[in-house]
């Protein structure tokens, strides 16, 4: 091929290769920034008479996330819908919020929960008081469901509540959990 014949071929190649270099800025496609998930705007609620607000962070045991939100201690008795009852020692009431963040039902059993005193002694809920105050003893917590309830303990008068040990539903394949301890004010 002669030099004269090669000139048009070279010119076409140069034009094709430099055709994208127009000097104008390239348009860059940007991925939109992630926006935070919206939250529910729930109204604040007053603490119940005689109750201390507890600001402990949520704690998870097994398949249930717990948050202790209230505490009453040193109660000598209570009034139910059809009964009045005196404590053998003192009533301590722990208000909890439970949430099942999973996709299946989780079982909650109030009888597994323990109030731990400053001396290390652990106390189970009082089933009679729990029933009289119309608090459930066991139920299935559905997927994505939140429940708030009271745990009623009848402990010795001189015992000082230090924490509550909460037990959730064990994950599939486990027989039990270790529980999670939440300090009380």
Q: Tens digits of per-residue pLDDT, 79-97?
A: 877 778 999 999 999 999 9
Name the residue with tokens 């599939």: 172
Give CA separation, 180 vs 90, 100, 135, in Å: 24, 15, 21
Note whether residue 43 is domain-resident.
no
Residues contacting 125, CB < 8 A, separation 6+: 110, 111, 113, 151, 152, 153
Low-confidence ranges of the chain (pLDDT < 70): 1-29, 31
Note whether residue 177 is domain-resident.
yes
Contact 93, 75 (CB under 8 A): yes
Note whether residue 150 is domain-resident.
yes
pTM score, whole prediction: 0.78
Note whether residue 8 is domain-resident.
no
Tokens matching residue 179: 């529980």
Q: What pLDDT sits at residue 5? A: 59
Note whether residue 18 is domain-resident.
no
Q: What pLDDT sits at residue 126? A: 97
Q: What pLDDT sits at residue 33? A: 75
Note whether residue 166 is domain-resident.
yes
Contact 49, 72 (CB under 8 A): no
Residues contacting 53, CB < 8 A, separation 6+: 47, 69, 70
| Residue 58 burial (10 A CB sphere; 0-12, 13-18, 19+) | middle
- How far is the C-alpha of 70 from the C-alpha of 110, rounded, in Å? 16
CA angle 117, 121, 153 (to 5 degrees): 60
Domain of residue 168: give its range: 52-183
CA angle 120, 125, 127 (to 5 degrees): 150
Note whether residue 38 is domain-resident.
no
Q: What pLDDT sits at residue 173? A: 78
| Residue 109 burial (10 A CB sphere; 0-12, 13-18, 19+) | middle
Structural domain count of the chain: 1
Q: What pLDDT sits at residue 23? A: 58
Note whether residue 42 is domain-resident.
no
User: CATH code at 130?
Assistant: 2.60.40.1240
Q: What pLDDT sits at residue 148? A: 97
């Amino acid at each position: 091929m002669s030099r004269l014949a090669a000139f048009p071929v070279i010119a076409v190649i140069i034009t094709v290769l430099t055709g994208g270099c127009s000097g104008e800025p390239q348009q860059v496609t940007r991925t939109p920034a992630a926006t935070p998930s919206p939250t529910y705007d729930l109204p604040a609620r007053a603490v119940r008479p005689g109750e201390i607000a507890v600001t402990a962070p949520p704690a998870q045991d097994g398949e249930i996330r717990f948050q202790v939100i209230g505490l009453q201690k040193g109660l000598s008795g209570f009034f139910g819908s059809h009964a009045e009852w005196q404590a053998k020692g003192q009533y301590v009431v722990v208000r909890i919020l439970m949430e099942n963040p999973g996709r299946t039902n989780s079982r909650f059993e109030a009888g597994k929960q323990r109030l731990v005193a400053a001396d290390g002694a652990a106390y189970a809920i009082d089933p009679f008081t729990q029933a009289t105050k119309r608090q459930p003893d066991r139920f299935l917590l559905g997927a994505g469901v939140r429940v708030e309830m009271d745990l009623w303990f009848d402990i010795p008068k001189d015992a000082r509540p230090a924490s509550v040990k909460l037990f959730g539903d064990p994950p599939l394949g486990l027989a039990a959990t270790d529980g999670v301890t939440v300090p009380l004010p």
